[in-house]
Amino acid sequence: MYAPAMTLRLEAAGITHRGTVRDNNEDCIAIGFWLSQETMTAARSFDHALDLPFACIVADGMGGHNDGEQASLLVARSLARRLVAAGLVGLGAADALGERRAVPRSCATVPSWRAWARPAVGLAAHEAKLAIFNVGDSRAYKLVPAGLMQLSVDDCLQPNWKAGSGVERSTKLLQCFGGRSTFTDIEPHLLFEPCVPGATYLLCCDGLYEALTETEMAALIGENLQASAEALLRAALEKKARDNVTIALVRLAPQSPA
């Protein structure tokens, strides 16, 4: 008897918070069509069948810059929409991530665009394809038996800096979205992965990985993604996170045929 092919789905959870020092939250998180810049105390959970495209974006606010909230919102919303529309094959995803497409052109016409320097990290998936991207120093990790494996590439002077290393981290970025008076070609880091049931990914801004070591983060990611995202935020706040903290957890799961 013919057995229908098993399709996949994604489970996801996201949370964002202003941290313990900032007066407001300039980060933005986008999961599917949902976006938030609120200071959240409970994570929001999602379940998405991969017969339709999916995108998840964390845009770092780089706190203190003019109109920072608006900038990260525009970047997160535009990237999420364009990644879903462009697809994940070949140059489609890379083209969607170019600054000329990923950031609305109207942004460059306002004086504060020079200050709108925004790192971003994201995950997009459809059917059996999955892509991870980043520009700047927001990070993507994959949960592996040994802990967390960093998939993103830090666009900074100290790539792959680790919390607890005893080395002071430089926040100077080599590339990001915005921060200049005109659009400039950028080279997003793009990694393709097969969709494997059980694979779990963490997307976060530097507010999380500066507060917690990778070992501490890995230990807090369990079966329940919503509870895990809340536990990560709680631990970062207990460590007096100096920046906004934004967390997205994504896990691939099988979906039995109807």
- Tell me the C-alpha distance between 201 and 186, whole Å: 24
Across the beta sheet with 7-17, the strand order is 44-49, 7-17, 245-255, 200-204, 139-144, 147-150
Contact yes or no for 206/156 (Cβ under 8 A): no
Is the pTM for the entire model greater than 0.85?
Answer: yes
Residues with Cβ within 8 Å of 134's Cβ and at least 6 positions away in sequence, in order, are 119, 120, 121, 122, 140, 152, 153, 155, 188, 189
Show the tokens assigned to 86.
């462009």
Torsion from C-alpha of 244, 22, 224, 138, nearest 10 degrees:
10
Q: What are phi and psi of 101, to 5 degrees?
A: -100, -35
Identify residue 238 by its one-letter amino acid code: E
pLDDT in tens, the chain (258 residues): 434 456 799 999 999 999 998 788 989 999 998 999 989 999 999 999 999 999 999 998 764 555 557 778 888 888 888 777 766 544 455 555 554 445 545 455 555 544 555 789 999 999 888 999 998 999 999 999 999 999 999 998 888 899 988 888 888 888 877 655 555 667 889 999 999 999 999 999 999 999 999 999 999 999 999 999 999 999 999 999 988 999 999 999 987 555
Nearest Cα to 149, choosing from 217, 239, 245, 235? 217
Q: Which residue has the tokens 């394809």?
A: 129
- The pair of structure tokens assigned to 125 is 């998936």
140: nearest Cα among 61, 214, 66, 39: 214
Residue 195 CB contacts under 8 Å (≥ 6 apart), including other chains: 8, 50, 125, 127, 128, 129, 130, 252
Paired strand residues for 203: 140, 248
CB atoms within 10 A of CB 17: 23
The domain locations on the chain are: 7-255
Distance (Å, rounded) from C-alpha 79 to C-alpha 168?
Answer: 31
Q: In this structure, which topology does domain 7-255 adopt according to CATH?
A: Phosphatase 2c; domain 1 (3.60.40)
- Do residues 140 and 123 touch, judged by C-beta distance below 8 A? yes
User: Quick one: pLDDT at residue 182?
Assistant: 57
